[in-house]
Amino acid sequence: MINFISKTVNLALASILALAFLGLEANAVEYWLSAGTTTLTMPDGEVIQMWGYGEDTDQDLSTVEGNYSVPGPELKVPAGDTTLTIHLRNDLPVPSSLMIAGQPADGTAPTYSGGRVLSFNDEAGANGGTVTYTWANVRPGTFLYTSATNPAVQVQMGLYGAMVAVLEDGPLCGPAPGGGTAYPGIIFDEDLTLLFSEIDPALHEAVAADDYGPGKAITSTVNYRPLYFLINGVAKEAGSNPIEIGSGGDRLLIRFLNAGLETAMPVIQGFYMQLVADDGFPMPFPSEQYSVMLTAGKTHDAIFSLLCDSLPEPISSTGTFAVFDRRAHRLTNNNAAGDGGMMTEFTLLDQDGESIVDICDNCLGVANPAQVDTDGDLFGNFCDTDLNNDLYADFGDVPLMVRAFIWQEEAGDFNSDGSVNFYDIARFLDLFNTTPGPSGQSNANHF
Amino acid sequence: MKTETDTALRHVSALRRIAASILMLAGLIVGGTAQAVISGTTGVNFDLTAKEGYVSMGDGATVYIWGYALDGGNVQLPGPTLIVTEGETITVTLHNDLAEAVSITFPGQTDVTTTGADSEGYLAGEAAATGGEVTYTFTATRPGTYQYHSGSNVGLQIEMGLSGALIIKPNAMNQAYNHPSTAFHQEYLFFLQELDPHIHTAVEAGLTPNLAERRAQYWLINGRSGPDTFFDDNIPWLPTQPYGAMARTHPNETVLMRVVGAGLDVHSFHTHGANFRVLARDGRMRETIPGVSGADAGLSDFTLTVAPGQTYDATWSWRGEDLGWDIFGHAPGDPCEPSGEECDPASPIYDHGKAIPVWLPEQQFLTFGGFWSGSPFLGQEGALPVGEGGLNLDGGYFYMWHSHIEAELVNFDIAPGGMMTMMIVEAPGVPIP
């Protein structure tokens, strides 16, 4: 028994060491995907036959897991990784494939039949065929991955997703857990993806019923007429959840992608953005705009500045603002009553629930609606027992705490109950030997 | 040998000269300066009413619209062009005569406050149907070209006509932004939008058309489709479309184009005659070094991609560079007018006294358009047959500015029309407007 435990521990240790070793040397990331049929239900109840990608979680490509989604899973290439490998199993009734526009794959070539291009790269055969692609020199940036086979049909059927590679990991300031460097000099605290696409239900119905193709009911996509419009695979419906942002840090990187066949015009109501990249290439200089022209197949990265001071008045109070397609005839779910289509909201997080959004909150993690900040250092009193402002709460602050207790000074009233009492002394002791904060006001973190 | 026709021609020509002189005189008296001013309404307090009405298309069709009216007057397409100055506090009060809630959103204005809203629309506080009222206040913080449009039932209400231009002028005179790189002599607005008349007809009939199936049939500049774009501002027979789109300048002047993508589709706005240079997008200068370099990062181009919701400022200039012949028709011994540059070998317009390198054909070999003055030389007129010409009193050069999506140069399938207008390069001294 002891021996067994010991063996297990040894094995675990070996695994950890191996993982650590891999972690240090990590220069390759591998994904196992499968392509297959699924459905999306539109807000008006219409069920659309879709094709999607899903992750093969047991990584053997031998079983069909059926977890296809539209868009497909976001493929992340961690910082430092330069090689990406994707294994694809195809459970569709036709051959399929995968490409990343802007990232040439190694050792793959277009597929021809009778002089006609069928696919831009190697295909996986219908009903269970597999193929493996490798990208040895992954370029950091935001990219679309899509089917490379008959893209006019297969992409609009739903075979698309986002592929994201960052230059460097790690937040450089602020309390955000994420963050990194997207492109040289383009640092972000958190990032999110907004992927735009459309659905023409007639086309999907024809493909699913094998009514699409030469001699059949629909012979081409020339009459493409989308009636549903999606952001991240979702058409707006009443009561749908907004996208939460502002968990910390003031630099939100928004990755805009258009997998549809039409131009989208994303606008974030009330704000300007700095456009910093175009098709995964950093722009020579940022462009300050409130709108993004997102043509079919395009990606754009924008830095969205989440400074409390620059929030428009209505937004700082409600914390919610609109994100929508300015081609506003597409804000519909095939003419169902009410809002629809490519519209959503951003909502600024207020994780401690005091109705002050985190990016404006001078003490995170606790409800301090009064937001008292006696010394004006952007750390609210409840988070700020550093009374001598040396950015560390320690013995140097004790005399000031004693004085505050005797003279009932507001700086020592951490819980803002009107008096400096034993509660505040307990708080002082709790936070002894810590830095002040955390404050959501980014300037507090930019010392 | 003289003929009766010759005499008649000379007679017509003389009349035209007199007419031109009268116009010139009128221009001098009324205008005083030779500078185009964008039509619109100035001030700090604006009173708008959303109401229904009709507009006329270039093919004679009448289209039902919803629009913003100024001070309870006519509904108009586009809404009143609001012209304000940097730093002012702007108040816009919106009344609603329509049967559904409306609102106004001001993209690019980041400190809009709303008072008295009856309800919350998707993008702005609303004035309730049939009699509601709401007030928006903002500080015109940053100069630039902007637009405003409805923030309620956004797709339908933009399609129906609830949009307009907002121009924030900097304190510096004759500059688009607070940088000398944005200086101009003439400025014009090109407010581009398109209409699907089926949607308008359906709305008028009380139906709910499917916006996803929208397909535009009319393409407009400043609320008019060609050739109505050529007419003056405020012509009596287009009472709900007060803004013309004909642009004029002199050689060597800088024209500021304020271009607004106000519709729901992308347009390619093409300038004949010369390239433009983009100064700004969405009311922000295109700068290599933000806040320092001025508008130095914009491309030189001849087709501007005008996307829905965006605005653009660009400059355009024409002076007959590299033509190899003298546009003024001077003989080699004539004085170097209007500028010495013509006689400077280092100048791209060094062509003084150089003859036009073609034989000018006799009239019997020509067909005539209304814009032909009878002479190839700037500011000059030649003999024209009776009944010909008449649209070019000052002998200017006409350049068509239009959507390069040629399918948009029609009015419900009838060409020419649609998203087209003219830029006229007038001889030096010809008063503008």
Task: For residue range A151-178, list pLDDT tens digits in order.
Answer: 999 999 999 999 999 998 875 544 445 7
pLDDT bin (cut points 50, 70, 90) of residue B295 is very high
Cβ count within 10 A of residue A426: 12
β-partners of residue A398 are: none
> Alpha-carbon distance B309 to B182, whole Å?
22
Q: Identify whether A198 is part of a domain.
A: no
| Whole-number pLDDT of residue A17 | 43
Closest partner residue to B122 among A284, A310, A343, by Cβ?
A343
| Whole-number pLDDT of residue A430 | 93
In chain B, residues with a C-beta closer than 8 Å to the C-beta of A338 are none
Rounding to the nearest 10 degrees, give the CA dihedral for residues B266, B271, B275, B276: -60
Q: Does B12 have pLDDT greater than 50? A: no
Q: Does B98 have pLDDT greater than 60? A: yes
> Alpha-carbon distance B44 to B131, whole Å?
23
Q: Identify whether A175 is part of a domain.
A: no
Answer whether B209 sits within 8 Å of A335, measured CB to CB.
yes
**Over residues A88-117, mean pLDDT:** 94
Q: Which of A315, A348, A381 is the last residue of a domain?
A: A348
Rg (chain A; Cα; Å): 26
Closest partner residue to B308 among A225, A314, A327, by Cβ?
A327
- Please write the tens of the pLDDT for every residue from B329-360: 999 999 998 888 899 999 989 999 999 999 98
Q: Which of A165, A181, A216 is the last residue of a domain?
A: A165
Q: What is the mean pLDDT of chain B?
A: 91
> Alpha-carbon distance B426 to B392, whole Å?
10
Least trusted range by pLDDT, from A31-35, A336-340, B33-37, B52-56: B33-37
Helix or strand or coil: residue B65?
A: strand
Query: In CATH, which superfamily holds the domain spanning B41-184?
Result: Cupredoxins -  blue copper proteins (2.60.40.420)
**Cα distance from A256 to chain B (closest Cα, Å)?**
16
**Cα distance from A72 to chain B (closest Cα, Å)?**
25
Q: Does B16 have pLDDT greater than 60? A: no
pLDDT bin (cut points 50, 70, 90) of residue A311 is confident
φ, ψ dihedrals at A308, nearest 5°: -55, -40
Higher pLDDT pick, A196 / A65: A196
β-partners of residue B120 are: B125
Structural domains in chain A (count): 3
Q: Which of A348, A373, A389 is the last residue of a domain?
A: A348
Answer whether A290 sits within 8 Å of B123, measured CB to CB.
no
Percentage of chain B modeled with pLDDT above 70: 92
> CA-nearest residue of chain A to B139?
A312
8 Å CB contact between A211 and A217: yes
Query: Do A70 and A154 belong to one domain?
Result: yes
Cβ count within 10 A of residue A220: 12
| Whole-number pLDDT of residue B409 | 97
In chain B, residues with a C-beta closer than 8 Å to the C-beta of A288 are 282, 284, 290
**Over residues B232-259, mean pLDDT:** 97
**Cα distance from B61 to chain A (closest Cα, Å)?**
23
β-partners of residue A212 are: A218
Answer whether A289 sits within 8 Å of B264, measured CB to CB.
no
**Over residues B133-149, mean pLDDT:** 97
**Cα distance from B139 to chain A (closest Cα, Å)?**
12
Which CATH number does the domain housing residue A282 bear?
2.60.40.420
Q: Identify whether A6 is part of a domain.
A: no
Q: In this structure, what token pair is assigned to residue B233?
A: 């501002």
- Please write the tens of the pLDDT for every residue from B32-43: 345 778 999 999
8 Å CB contact between A325 and A229: yes
**Cα distance from B319 to chain A (closest Cα, Å)?**
31
Answer whether A227 sits within 8 Å of B212, measured CB to CB.
yes
| Whole-number pLDDT of residue A157 | 98
β-partners of residue B315 are: B256, B277
| Whole-number pLDDT of residue A446 | 43
**Cβ neighbours for A269, distance < 8 A, ≥ 6 positions apart:** A321, A322, A323, A324, B105, B123
Q: Does B7 have pLDDT greater than 50? A: no
Percentage of chain A modeled with pLDDT above 70: 90
In chain B, residues with a C-beta closer than 8 Å to the C-beta of A291 are 107, 282, 307, 309-310
Query: Do A238 and A315 belong to one domain?
Result: yes
Query: Do A219 and A305 belong to one domain?
Result: yes
> CA-nearest residue of chain A to B125?
A314
| Whole-number pLDDT of residue A442 | 63
| Whole-number pLDDT of residue A23 | 44
> Alpha-carbon distance B344 to B351, whole Å?
9
Query: Do A381 and A278 belong to one domain?
Result: no
Query: Do A385 and A329 belong to one domain?
Result: no
**Cβ neighbours for B426, distance < 8 A, ≥ 6 positions apart:** B248, B249, B250, B378, B379, B394, B396, B432
Q: What is the mean pLDDT of chain A?
A: 88
Closest partner residue to B155 among A290, A322, A329, by Cβ?
A329
Picking from A323, A371, A308, A374, the residue whose alpha carbon sits closest to that of residue A174 is: A308
In chain B, residues with a C-beta closer than 8 Å to the C-beta of A334 are 210, 212
In chain B, residues with a C-beta closer than 8 Å to the C-beta of A343 are 122
Query: Do A373 and A325 belong to one domain?
Result: no
Q: Does A9 have pLDDT greater than 70? A: no
| Whole-number pLDDT of residue B80 | 98
Answer whether B154 sits within 8 Å of A328, measured CB to CB.
yes
Answer whether A289 sits within 8 Å of B290, measured CB to CB.
no
Pairing state of beta strands B89-96 and A228-231?
unpaired
Q: Identify whether A190 is part of a domain.
A: no
Helix or strand or coil: residue B121?
A: coil
> Alpha-carbon distance B217 to B195, whole Å?
6
Q: In this structure, what token pair is assigned to residue B349?
A: 């317009």
Closest partner residue to B282 among A270, A290, A327, by Cβ?
A290
Q: How large is the angle between the packed helices A422-430 and A398-407, nearest 10 degrees?
A: 170
| Whole-number pLDDT of residue A419 | 93
Strand segments, DSSP code E, in A42-189 are 47-55, 75-77, 83-90, 99-100, 111-113, 116-119, 129-135, 141-146, 160-165, 168-169, 180-183, 186-188
Q: In this structure, what token pair is assigned to residue B111?
A: 């400190």
> Alpha-carbon distance B400 to A442, whole Å?
52
Query: Do A127 and A49 belong to one domain?
Result: yes
Q: Does B393 have pLDDT greater than 50? A: yes
CB pairs under 8 A between A and B: 109
β-partners of residue B400 are: B422
Amino acid at B343: C
Is the dihedral angle over the CA atoms A295, A301, A306, A309 positive or is it negative?
Answer: negative
Residues of chain B whose C-beta is under 8 A from some C-beta in A?
105, 107-108, 110-114, 122-123, 154-156, 158-159, 208-214, 264-266, 281-282, 284, 286-290, 297, 305, 307-310
- Please write the tens of the pLDDT for every residue from B185-225: 999 999 999 999 999 999 999 999 999 999 999 999 999 99
8 Å CB contact between B155 and B61: no
Answer whether A287 sits within 8 Å of B213, measured CB to CB.
no
**Cα distance from A338 to chain B (closest Cα, Å)?**
8
Query: Do A41 and A90 belong to one domain?
Result: yes
pLDDT bin (cut points 50, 70, 90) of residue B31 is very low
Q: Is A446 exposed, middle or buried (0-12, 13-18, 19+ CB in 10 A)?
A: exposed
In chain B, residues with a C-beta closer than 8 Å to the C-beta of A327 are 264-265, 308
| Whole-number pLDDT of residue B236 | 97
Answer whether A270 sits within 8 Å of B155, measured CB to CB.
no
| Whole-number pLDDT of residue A443 | 62
State the complex-level ipTM: 0.89
In 3-state terms, chain B is what percent helix, strand and coil (to 5)?
A: 15, 30, 55
Helix or strand or coil: residue B395?
A: coil
Query: Do A37 and A160 belong to one domain?
Result: yes
Query: Do A418 and A315 belong to one domain?
Result: no
Percentage of chain A modeled with pLDDT above 90: 66
Closest partner residue to A313 among B107, B111, B307, by Cβ?
B111
Between vectors from CA B105 to CA B242 and to CA A243, what angle results, nearest 5°? 150
Closest partner residue to A328 among B155, B289, B310, by Cβ?
B155
8 Å CB contact between A327 and B265: yes
Answer whether B214 sits within 8 Å of A329, measured CB to CB.
yes
Between vectors from CA A196 to CA B270 and to CA A152, what angle results, nearest 5°? 80
A120: domain range?
28-165
| Whole-number pLDDT of residue A8 | 41
Place of tokens 């308008």: B200
| Whole-number pLDDT of residue B34 | 56
pLDDT bin (cut points 50, 70, 90) of residue A305 is confident
Query: Do A431 and A410 belong to one domain?
Result: yes
Chain B CB within 8 Å of residue A329 CB: yes
β-partners of residue B267 are: B306
Q: Identify whether A192 is part of a domain.
A: no
Picking from B296, B35, B36, the residue whose alpha carbon sits closest to that of residue B179 is: B296
Place of tokens 């009173």: B47
8 Å CB contact between B268 and B405: yes
Place of tokens 């040397």: A25
**Cα distance from B426 to chain A (closest Cα, Å)?**
36
Query: Do A259 and A332 belong to one domain?
Result: yes
Answer whether B108 sits within 8 Å of A290, measured CB to CB.
yes
β-partners of residue B48 are: B70, B94
Cβ count within 10 A of residue A329: 26
Interface of A with B in 242-281 (CB under 8 A): 263, 265, 267, 269-272
**Over residues A135-153, mean pLDDT:** 96
> Alpha-carbon distance B46 to B149, whole Å?
15
> CA-nearest residue of chain A to B152?
A339
Q: Does A22 have pLDDT greater than 80? A: no
In chain B, residues with a C-beta closer than 8 Å to the C-beta of A328 are 154-155, 158, 211, 264, 308
Q: Does A445 have pLDDT greater than 70? A: no
Which CATH number does the domain housing residue A417 bear?
1.10.1330.10
- Please write the tens of the pLDDT for every residue from B170-196: 999 999 999 999 999 999 999 999 999
- Please write the tens of the pLDDT for every residue from B248-291: 999 999 999 999 999 999 999 999 999 999 999 999 999 999 88
Q: Identify whether A379 is part of a domain.
A: yes
In 3-state terms, chain A is what percent helix, strand and coil (to 5)?
A: 20, 30, 50
Least trusted range by pLDDT, from A30-39, A427-436, B55-64: A427-436
